[in-house]
Amino acid sequence: MFDSSSFAKGYAIVAMTIVALIVVGIIIRDIRNARMKSYIEKNGIHTHAEIVNIEIHTGKISDYTNIKLHYRFNDYNGRNVTGVGNAVIFTSDLAQYQPGKTFGIIYNKDDPSRVVLKIENASLKRHK
């Protein structure tokens, strides 16, 4: 007959394999995203985008605010491109990111939907 401990070991191995595959998939996705971001920063077209809408996600008491920016810009062919991007800013800088204001972006000439927001991550710099 079958030993119940061998079933438990089999399920544990399957579970660990699934977790390992998920972790490897996340790492591969992050590497691809980093390469694409680097390519766009080196070869992309610099312009400004207009903020259409902003979603604010604040956590507990913190100096930082997570924002989701809905933006639009015109590419080099004059086509109107819309997109959404996330950023971490200082809560005190929130007035700079309101509908109608602009911010810097770099977009891929071949695929204008691929955009790098030129907003420095507030958690990586010192507050003034």
Domain that holds residue 117: 45-124
Q: What is the pLDDT of residues 2-27, one digit of tens each?
A: 566 777 788 899 999 999 999 999 99
Residue type, 103: F
Same-domain check for residues 71 and 110? yes
Same-domain check for residues 56 and 85? yes
- The Cα–Cα gap between 107 and 118 comes to 10
Residue type, 39: Y
Same-domain check for residues 37 and 52? no
- The conformation of residue 40, written as its DSSP 8-state character, comes to H
Same-domain check for residues 15 and 68? no
Residue type, 72: R
- Decide if 103 contacts 117 (C-beta within 8 A): yes
Q: How far is CA 11 from CA 1, 4, 20, 121, in A?
A: 18, 11, 14, 42
- The conformation of residue 115, written as its DSSP 8-state character, comes to E
- Token pair 């000439």 is at which residue? 109
Q: What is the pLDDT of residues 22-45, one digit of tens each?
A: 999 999 999 999 999 999 999 999
The number of domains in the chain is: 2
